[in-house]
Amino acid sequence: MNNRSGSRPKLAVWKFASCDGCQLTLLDCEDELLEVAGRVEIAHFLEASSARVAGPFDLSLVEGSITTAHDADRIRKVRAESKSLVTIGACATAGGIQALRNFTDVDEFLSVVYATPSFLSTLGTSTPISDHVPVDFELRGCPIDKRQLLEVIGAFLAGRKPNVRDHCVCVECKQRGNPCVLVAHGTPCLGPVTHAGCGGLCPAFNRGCYGCFGPMESPNVESLIGALTEVGMPAEDVDRVFHTFNAWSEPFRTAGRREERP
Amino acid sequence: MTHKAKPSRTLTTEELARVEGEGAMRVEIHEGTVGRVELNIYEPPRFFEGFLRGRRYSEPPDITARICGICPVAYQMSACRAIEDALGLEVNGQLRELRRLLYCAEWIESHILHIHFLHLPDFFGLDSAIDLAGINRPAVERALALKKIGNELLELIGGRAIHPINVQVGGFYKVPTRRELLAFRPKLEHARDMAAEVVELVGGLDFPELEVDHEMVALRHPTEYAILDGRIISDGGLDITDQEYPEHFVEEHVEHSTALHSRIRARGTYLVGPLARFRLNFDRLTTVAADAAGAVGLTADCSNPFRSIVVRAVETLDVIEVGLAIVDAYDEPDRPYLEATIGGGTGHGATEAPRGLLYHRYKLSDDGVITDAVITPPTSQNQAAIEDDLTRYVQANIGLDDEELRKGAEVTIRNHDPCISCATHFLDLTVVRT
């Protein structure tokens, strides 16, 4: 607010194939929004403003995955205009739930949903932003966590690395005091292989983690699959549980296809 | 409709380059008469109906939530009700009340977001709520406070405001305690006061003249302002159950949009959303909400879509009042969910998303696997009505220059809070004058 006009860093928010939930997370920072808006120049954020300021941009937040040839071009232009580019959420970071098309023939989906598929132009794949352009930081989650988002924005504006830890959900469960649903109740849970960020949310509500933050760094997926099988999870359910919101991220990609695993 | 200017499909491609993945609008004017009008939805298709096939009956509440970050609860509720219909499961009593309360919370969050962040800046000729804060900071701070209360209630019951994790077929994974809900009561009381002020604020805006005569469709419940369930009725004589929806409504795929167009088989274009709900359920509003509407001159027969911002404010006040009543009567259920007996069948579920009727249908195999899914969101049902509004608006204001006409037309679209996965704010307008 007290910055001189024109000297504030320029923030842009871009949307590709997605549900808008991750950009909404920024608007859901009710206590901080006006403060953030005072410290940056919101140059491009269509969900919040119809003003468009031309680039270059100091920080671009990118939501959504690449599913059309047009969007593949567009992300290259966004990259060229952005000093720092951060992906927000599972779609931009891992291809999102729409990456389920990557495992099948997209024409089949087209014909299920649309009577006249020839009206549409879409790629056969949904891919993360990092498949197309260099990315400076990837923020995980479906949706992202607002505390992590504020940390990332603050860090990039201050020119430092974001302090977003890469351990698994289990650590957050311990911090929250959740009993382990897998050990205590035999409830299938992806917490041991899932990236932290939610705060151990699902186990606090008596359900197993379903992996919406995607894989942590170096997860031992095979070991977890053994544990899931031990508590009675059928093989096809094991396949499906990895194939949701981060299906295209390794190693969930192959964990969800038993026949493809060695 | 004359097309003296050669209708050119290549223009569509040009527009695509400038709309950046969201929506666009194209209006053709020929010698002072509005010709072709198209609301183009360019959101890349995400194929939810396709990949729901082969998933287990328990998965749609989590999966379909991801269709929309602004109204995930609407998707969860329609999905649950459709699957429960297929499985012959009836969720009643306090579990149903908790679902309504969760849905009320989403209405607060979504309506306040739309009113203040997407729509209100237009009425002041501003680009954003942040600019609005520059001229009326208390109004924006009040909006943020109200939205926060909606989100906190979503978190209390659903675990998370965006894509709640606590919803499942049959109920919830965990129910809140009576003490937890009562502790929230003061916030809801504060929200009620603030919502009443919002009604006053938006009720006093200047609205362009525009009358529409769409058939209005909404849910109707015997005693409630219907949100979670009810019969699907219209002011054109429709009065059907969820199960009869496919007999009366048809979806068409039009070339200029990735969203399907929906029509009533017998009659055509119709409207869902706040105006329709308000008209068909005015007598079900709480006294507080009905009085607030009366004080700003809003009546049940309102057919000016620009006044839907006032309807949203009244509905916000109403759901807060409803939420308070649910909290007061809350008695912790013995079990957080009803156990489903897996079996085959087809189920239908319609609920009122903040922006209108949301219909789901699932076919299940005997072992509970989805073999077919149909999801009809409010925006595809409203697309033809929105195009009709555009035609009327542009025709009535044809003397304005292109820039003014573009702005007015954008507001005309925003009246309906179109959910282009889910809330496209900016829509590009191309005016072709010949």
Please write the tens of the pLDDT for every residue from A160-173.
Answer: 999 998 899 999 99
Can you give the pLDDT at residue A157? 87
Measured over the CA atoms of residue A131, residue A132, residue A135 and residue A138, the dihedral's sign is negative
Contact status, residue A239 vs residue B58, Cβ threshold 8 Å: no
Helix (H) or strand (E) holding A160: none
Both structure tokens of A37: 């808006």
For B91, the 3-state DSSP assignment is: coil
Measured over the CA atoms of residue B15, residue B16, residue B17 and residue B18, the dihedral's sign is positive
Higher-confidence position of B61 and A114: B61
| pLDDT band, very low/low/confident/very high, at A113 (cuts 50, 70, 90) | low
Residue B184: partners with Cβ closer than 8 Å, 6 or more residues away: B152, B153, B156, B327
Per DSSP bridges, beta strands A10-15 and A41-45 are parallel
Please write the tens of the pLDDT for every residue from A5-37.
Answer: 457 999 999 999 999 999 999 999 999 999 999
**How far apart are the C-alpha atoms of A14 and B82, rounded to whole Å?**
34
Please write the tens of the pLDDT for every residue from A71-82.
Answer: 999 999 999 999
Residues 180-199 (A) with a CB less than 8 A from some CB of B = 198
Can you give the pLDDT at residue B47? 84
What are the chain A neighbours of B138 within 8 Å (beta carbons)? none
Contact B44 A122 (CB under 8 A): yes
A147 touches chain B (CB under 8 A): no
Within B299-395, strands assigned E span 345-353, 356-364, 370-376
**How far apart are the C-alpha atoms of B46 and B39, rounded to whole Å?**
19
Query: Is pLDDT at A95 greater than 70 in this prediction?
Result: yes
**How far apart are the C-alpha atoms of B76 and B184, rounded to whole Å?**
23
CA A73 to chain centre: 21
Query: Is pLDDT at A4 greater than 60 in this prediction?
Result: no
Contact status, residue A93 vs residue A123, Cβ threshold 8 Å: no
Within B79-207, strands assigned E span 167-168, 171-172
A112 touches chain B (CB under 8 A): yes
Contact A97 B426 (CB under 8 A): no
Measure B280 CA to nearest chain A CA, in Å: 30
The ipTM, to two decimals, is: 0.94
Can you give the pLDDT at residue A117? 62
Residues 225-244 (A) with a CB less than 8 A from some CB of B = 237, 240, 244
Contact A21 B46 (CB under 8 A): no
What are the chain B neighbours of A24 within 8 Å (beta carbons)? 69-70, 113, 162
Can you give the pLDDT at residue A181? 97
Measure the N-to-C terminal CA separation of chain A; round to a whole number of Å.
56
Contact B173 A206 (CB under 8 A): yes
Helix (H) or strand (E) holding B11: helix B10-19
Helix (H) or strand (E) holding B55: none
The one-letter code for the residue type at B235 is D
Please write the tens of the pLDDT for every residue from A178-216.
Answer: 999 999 999 999 999 999 999 999 999 999 999 999 999
What are the chain A neighbours of B69 within 8 Å (beta carbons)? 18-24, 143
Weakly modelled stretches of chain B, pLDDT under 50 = 1-21, 422-427
Residue with tokens 């037309």: B409
Neighbours of B404 (CB within 10 A): 11
Write the residue in A18, A96, A113 that is nearest to B49 by C-beta. A113
Please write the tens of the pLDDT for every residue from A131-159.
Answer: 999 999 999 999 999 999 999 999 998 99
A206 touches chain B (CB under 8 A): yes
Can you give the pLDDT at residue A149? 97
Interface test mutation site (partner A, options B20, B126, B428, max chain A beta carbons within 10 A): B20
Neighbours of B155 (CB within 10 A): 16
What's the Rg (C-alpha) of chain B?
21
| pLDDT band, very low/low/confident/very high, at A89 (cuts 50, 70, 90) | very high
Write the residue in B117, B144, B253 that is nearest to A114 by C-beta. B253
Average pLDDT, chain A: 90
DSSP B108-136: HHHHHIIIIIIIHHHHTT-SBHHHHHHH-
Contact B258 A204 (CB under 8 A): no
Measure B49 CA to nearest chain A CA, in Å: 6
Measure A158 CA to nearest chain B CA, in Å: 23
